[in-house]
Copies of this chain bind each other. A is one copy, B any other.
Amino acid sequence: MSTKIKLGILGGGGDSLIGVLHRIASAMFDNYKIVGGVFNQYKEESIKFAQEIDIPTDRIYTDIDELIREELALPAEERMQVISVLTPNFLHYPMAKKLLEAGFNVICEKPLTTTYEEALTLKSIQQEKKTVFAVTHTYTGYPMVREIRSLVASGVLGKIQKVDVQYYQGWINPIIHDKEKRKSTWRLDPEKSGISCCMGDIGTHAFNMVEFTTGLKIKSVLADLNYLYEDNLMDIDGTVLLRFAENVKGVIRTSQIATGEENSLIVKIYGDKGGLKWEQENPNYVYHISEEGAMKVLKPGHAYNSEVSLGSTKLPPGHPEGIFDAMGNIYNGVAKAIRNENFDSAEFPTLLDGVRGMDFIEKTVKSHQEGNVWVTIDE
Binding site for B on A (CB under 8 A): 1-4, 17, 20-21, 23-24, 27-28, 30, 33, 51-54, 157, 161-162, 164, 166, 168-170, 173-174, 177, 222, 224, 226-229, 237, 239, 241, 243, 247, 249, 251, 253, 255, 257-264, 268, 270-275, 280-284, 288-299, 302-304, 314-325, 372, 374
From B52, B241, B272, A224 is in contact (CB under 8 Å) with B241
Contact B222 A224 (CB under 8 A): yes
Contact A274 B255 (CB under 8 A): no
Closest to A56 in B: B2
What is the CB-to-nearest-CB distance from A299 to chain B, in angstroms, rounded to a whole number?
7
Docked complex Cα distance between A183 and B220 (Å)? 30
**Which residues on B sit within 8 Å (CB–CB) of A162?**
226, 237, 255, 257-258
Indicate how many identical chains form the complex: 4
**Which residues on B sit within 8 Å (CB–CB) of A27?**
23-24, 27
From B224, B253, B261, B282, A289 is in contact (CB under 8 Å) with B261
**Which residues on B sit within 8 Å (CB–CB) of A296?**
293-297
From B1, B247, B273, B292, A228 is in contact (CB under 8 Å) with B247
**Which residues on B sit within 8 Å (CB–CB) of A164?**
166, 253
A257/B270 contact (C-beta < 8 A), A23-B30, A224-B222 known: yes
What is the CB-to-nearest-CB distance from A224 to chain B, in angstroms, rounded to a whole number?
5
Docked complex Cα distance between A376 and B226 (Å)? 19
Docked complex Cα distance between A315 and B19 (Å)? 11
From B53, B54, B270, B314, A260 is in contact (CB under 8 Å) with B270
Contact A258 B270 (CB under 8 A): yes
Closest to A236 in B: B161
Docked complex Cα distance between A297 and B249 (Å)? 28
